[in-house]
């Protein structure tokens, strides 16, 4: 028991930062559960171990983890081989790995990619065989397929979003700018060698080539504009509110860009299931298998999730091969992916190779242990997966893409704002409202400045928001969907350990400089005449603003400051 203060905190260079909560990762935890308070300090270094004996007993990665099928680079089948899964888990738990940087509690790295994902890379390297070069291959594809301005939040598994200025630049997101959320590598699959297996609780299990699925005499083609939203969108606000308390598994610190809209072409899964003779009892759910390898708590598997049959039956689950007029990019699931209309992105499985009809929601980790919405009291030390609601439809949400938080804006009584609004489950944004006073008064975005409404798509919007006042203001945005659902007004109300569903009204602080006011207009003219730059806001410049004569004149024509009696 460590009673003595290992006083580390005296005379440290960073004492002030630690005391002010700006370096929470260095803080000892106070254990007050006994009579005396005990300080639990972070260890100086991570515990490093490698059990060579256990590792060599498993055999070589090359033999164990091999390519399952010719023409499917980076695909390893796990779900069919429980023994192989157990061996891989043993391999990973017999050694230590670098931990990912604590970007929530520690400072966020000022780099792009923001986080490297060293732990994920090391797991793949340790597994070896077919997975040895997956991280490298993934990064190459990012560079081939994605816009050079993407914000790479996590390099591997790749997670990236477009910068704010590009998120809503078009109501259909160009492919290179569509956000990407991966849990592992990017399998590189030859479409002629690919097929899809449909099995489980169906009358007649079958396999389909891409050609079969594209045969319009068998399956009517569907073309739809669909917004895909990751349930982690805007997570950065939850991280900022309570750093370090949320799910510390390396998660992309998403901002407002983990949402995108594309025109997809494919078919309804319902028709394919019918082609297999329909479901047999007691099928109620449909499970999707993605070809990459995902490591969760050192457990190794494929990416597997499920949706209820009712969703499939409503023709709201599509099998997609085309995105914005092009074959699906590799990074978005080539050759075939699922797109579940109005559900969180997580259910829209990429690199789909298997569909299985089952009785209950999938027990795979992504479905049963992730994408859960916990009560606020549930956290790291007390949670159980059954405490969380499995997230399917996203609630109504919106975001301001311009101006940016902490930005100064010069205007003439109106601040030009831009953003998006979206609602899950087939509901759509019916009204978007903005407030320039923290949410006391609300102005409606004129309908002619919103993009077209549709059941499965977001609406981008623009508005000149009336603002007379100057100085720091708070701009807030909220949306009402067609069911008149709206957003909670603060982040705290929506905070949850998984850092999902940040659907609270979006708030930004802006410094308002209203040139419509005489004093301000004249002052800015003076700056211009003298050639003094305005930015940044913190710039210190001495510009005389009143002459001594003007000052005297004021007091000659006004009451004095104090009274006589």
Ligand X SMILES: Nc1nc2c(c(=O)[nH]1)N[C@H]1C(S)=C(S)[C@@H](COP(=O)(O)O)O[C@H]1N2
The single residue listed with the structure tokens 């297999």 is 276
Question: How far is CA 255 from its chain centroid?
Answer: 7
Tell me the closest approach of the beta carbon of residue 343 to ligand X, in angstroms: 10
Does residue 103 interact with ligand X by CB under 6 A?
no
235 vs 258: CA distance, rounded Å: 10
- The alpha carbon torsion through 287, 292, 294, 300 (nearest 10 deg) reads 90
Neighbours of 322 (CB within 10 A): 16
Tell me the closest approach of the beta carbon of residue 333 to ligand X, in angstroms: 6
Q: Check if the beta carbon of residue 190 is closer than 8 Å to that of residue 71.
A: yes
Tell me the closest approach of the beta carbon of residue 181 to ligand X, in angstroms: 4
Tell me the closest approach of the beta carbon of residue 73 to ligand X, in angstroms: 15
Query: Which range of residues in 176-184, 264-272, 307-315, 530-538 is near ligand X by CB under 6 A?
Result: 176-184
Q: Check if the beta carbon of residue 362 is closer than 8 Å to that of residue 301.
A: no
Does residue 427 interact with ligand X by CB under 6 A?
no
Tell me the closest approach of the beta carbon of residue 162 to Mo ion, in angstroms: 16
Which lies closer to ligand X via its Cβ, residue 182 or residue 324? 182
Beta strands in 238-383 (DSSP E): 259-268, 285-296, 299-308, 317-323, 326-327, 337-340, 352-358, 372-373
Query: Which range of residues in 89-97, 102-110, 148-156, 180-188 is near ligand X by CB under 6 A?
Result: 180-188
Of residues 34, 41, 51, 46, the one with CA closest to residue 4: 41
429 vs 455: CA distance, rounded Å: 9
For residue 402, what are its two tokens?
Answer: 């311009």
Query: Which range of residues in 86-94, 310-318, 340-348, 541-549 is near ligand X by CB under 6 A?
Result: 340-348
Q: Give the one entry of Mo ion, ligand X, none that residue 476 binds, where binding means its C-beta sits below a cut-off of 5 to 8 angstroms depending on kind.
A: none
Neighbours of 405 (CB within 10 A): 15
Question: How far is CA 455 from its chain centroid?
Answer: 22
Tell me the closest approach of the beta carbon of residue 67 to Mo ion, in angstroms: 27
Which lies closer to ligand X via its Cβ, residue 321 or residue 351? 351
Out of 88, 134, 154, 180, the only residue in the binding site for ligand X (CB under 6 A) is 180
User: What angle do the packed helices 82-93 and 118-127 form, to 10 degrees?
Assistant: 120
Does residue 340 interact with ligand X by CB under 6 A?
no
Query: Which range of residues in 105-113, 269-277, 345-353, 544-552 is near ligand X by CB under 6 A?
Result: 345-353
Does residue 351 interact with ligand X by CB under 6 A?
yes
For residue 294, what are its two tokens?
Answer: 């995902």
Query: Which range of residues in 5-13, 100-108, 349-357, 476-484 is near ligand X by CB under 6 A?
Result: 349-357
Which lies closer to ligand X via its Cβ, residue 334 or residue 495? 334
For residue 253, what are its two tokens?
Answer: 């610190």
Which lies closer to ligand X via its Cβ, residue 303 or residue 480? 303
Which residues contact Mo ion (rule: CB under 5 A)?
Answer: 181, 230, 345-346
Which lies closer to ligand X via its Cβ, residue 371 or residue 480? 371
Q: Alpha helices, DSSP H only, in 111-195?
A: 118-127, 134-145, 164-167
Q: How many CA atoms lie within 13 A of 331 on its CB side?
A: 25
Tell me the closest approach of the beta carbon of residue 19 to ligand X, in angstroms: 38
Question: How far is CA 41 from its chain centroid?
Answer: 32
Query: Which range of residues in 52-60, 175-183, 312-320, 482-490 is near ligand X by CB under 6 A?
Result: 175-183
Q: Check if the beta carbon of residue 167 is closer than 8 Å to that of residue 175.
A: no
299-318 positions binding ligand X, by CB under 6 A: 303
183-202 positions binding ligand X, by CB under 6 A: 183
Site string for ligand X, 275-304 (x = CB under 6 A): ---------------x-x----------x-
Which lies closer to ligand X via its Cβ, residue 154 or residue 400? 154
Does residue 179 interact with ligand X by CB under 6 A?
yes
528 vs 523: CA distance, rounded Å: 9
Q: Give the one entry of ligand X, Mo ion, none that residue 451 binds, where binding means its C-beta sits below a cut-off of 5 to 8 angstroms depending on kind.
A: none
492 vs 480: CA distance, rounded Å: 20
DSSP states along 529-543: HHT----STT-----
376 vs 494: CA distance, rounded Å: 8
The dihedrals phi and psi of 19, each to the nearest 5 degrees, come to -60, -35
Does residue 247 interact with ligand X by CB under 6 A?
no
Which lies closer to ligand X via its Cβ, residue 371 or residue 374? 371
Does residue 152 interact with ligand X by CB under 6 A?
no
Which lies closer to ligand X via its Cβ, residue 101 or residue 157? 157
Cβ-based neighbours of 562, under 8 Å, separated by 6 or more: none
Out of 114, 228, 252, 421, the only residue in the binding site for ligand X (CB under 6 A) is 228
Does residue 343 interact with ligand X by CB under 6 A?
no
Tell me the closest approach of the beta carbon of residue 231 to Mo ion, in angstroms: 6
Tell me the closest approach of the beta carbon of residue 188 to ligand X, in angstroms: 13
Q: Give the one entry of Mo ion, ligand X, none that residue 272 binds, where binding means its C-beta sits below a cut-off of 5 to 8 angstroms depending on kind.
A: none
Q: Check if the beta carbon of residue 28 is closer than 8 Å to that of residue 64.
A: no
Which lies closer to ligand X via its Cβ, residue 162 or residue 403? 162
Q: Give the one entry of ligand X, Mo ion, none that residue 459 binds, where binding means its C-beta sits below a cut-off of 5 to 8 angstroms depending on kind.
A: none
Specify the pairing of strand 299-308 against strand 372-373: unpaired
Which lies closer to Mo ion via its Cβ, residue 61 or residue 253? 253
Of residues 93, 444, 441, the one with CA closest to residue 298: 93
Binding residues vs ligand X (CB under 6 A): 178-183, 228, 230, 290, 292, 303, 332, 345-346, 348-351
């Amino acid at each position: 028991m460590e009673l003595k203060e290992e006083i580390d905190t005296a005379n440290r260079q960073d004492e002030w930062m630690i005391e002010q909560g700006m370096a929470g990762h260095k803080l000892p935890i106070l254990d007050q559960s006994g009579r005396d308070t005990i300080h639990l300090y972070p260890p100086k270094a991570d515990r490093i171990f490698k059990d060579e004996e256990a590792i060599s007993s498993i055999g070589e990665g090359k033999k164990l983890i091999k390519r399952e099928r010719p023409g499917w680079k980076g695909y390893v089948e796990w779900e069919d081989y429980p023994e192989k899964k157990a061996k891989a888990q043993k391999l990973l738990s017999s050694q230590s790995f670098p931990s990912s940087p604590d970007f929530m509690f520690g400072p966020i790295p000022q780099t792009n990619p923001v986080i490297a994902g060293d732990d994920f890379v090391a797991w793949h390297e340790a597994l070896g065989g077919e997975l040895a070069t997956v991280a490298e291959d993934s990064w190459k594809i990012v560079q081939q397929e994605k816009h050079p301005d993407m914000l790479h939040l996590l390099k591997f598994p790749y997670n990236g979003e477009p910068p704010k200025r590009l998120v809503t630049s078009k109501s259909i997101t160009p492919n290179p700018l569509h956000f990407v959320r991966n849990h592992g590598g990017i399998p590189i699959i030859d479409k002629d060698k690919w097929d899809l297996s449909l099995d489980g609780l169906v009358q007649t299990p079958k396999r389909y080539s891409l050609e079969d699925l594209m045969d319009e005499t068998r399956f009517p083609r569907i073309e739809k504009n669909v917004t895909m939203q990751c349930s982690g969108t805007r997570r950065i606000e939850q991280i900022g509110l309570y750093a370090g308390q949320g799910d510390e598994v390396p998660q992309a610190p998403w901002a407002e860009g983990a949402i995108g809209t594309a025109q997809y072409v494919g078919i309804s899964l319902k028709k394919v299931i019918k082609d297999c003779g329909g479901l047999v009892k007691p099928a109620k759910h449909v499970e999707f298998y993605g070809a990459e390898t995902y490591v969760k708590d050192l457990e190794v598997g494929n990416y597997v999730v499920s949706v209820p049959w009712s969703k499939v039956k409503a023709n709201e689950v599509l099998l997609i091969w085309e995105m914005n007029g092009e074959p699906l990019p590799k990074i978005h699931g080539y050759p075939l992916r699922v797109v579940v209309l109005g559900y969180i992105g997580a259910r829209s499985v990429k690199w789909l190779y298997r569909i299985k009809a089952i009785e209950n929601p999938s027990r795979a980790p992504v479905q049963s242990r992730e994408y859960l919405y916990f009560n606020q009291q549930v956290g790291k030390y007390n949670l159980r997966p059954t405490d969380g609601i499995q997230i399917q439809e996203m609630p109504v949400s919106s975001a301001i893409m311009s101006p940016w938080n902490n930005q100064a804006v010069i205007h003439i009584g109106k601040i030009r704002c831009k953003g998006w609004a979206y609602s899950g489950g087939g509901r759509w944004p019916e009204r978007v409202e903005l407030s320039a006073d923290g949410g006391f008064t609300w102005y409606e975005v004129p309908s002619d400045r919103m993009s077209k409404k549709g059941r499965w798509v977001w609406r981008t919007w623009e508005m000149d928001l009336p603002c007379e006042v100057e100085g720091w203001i708070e701009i807030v945005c909220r949306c009402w969907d067609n069911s008149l659902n709206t957003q909670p007004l603060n982040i705290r109300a929506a905070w949850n350990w998984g850092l999902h569903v940040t659907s609270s009204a979006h708030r930004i602080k802006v410094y308002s400089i209203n040139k419509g006011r005489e004093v301000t207009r004249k002052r800015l003219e003076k700056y211009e005449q003298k050639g003094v730059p305005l930015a940044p806001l913190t710039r210190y410049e001495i510009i005389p603003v009143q002459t001594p004569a003007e000052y005297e004149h004021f007091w000659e024509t006004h009451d004095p400051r104090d009274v006589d009696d």
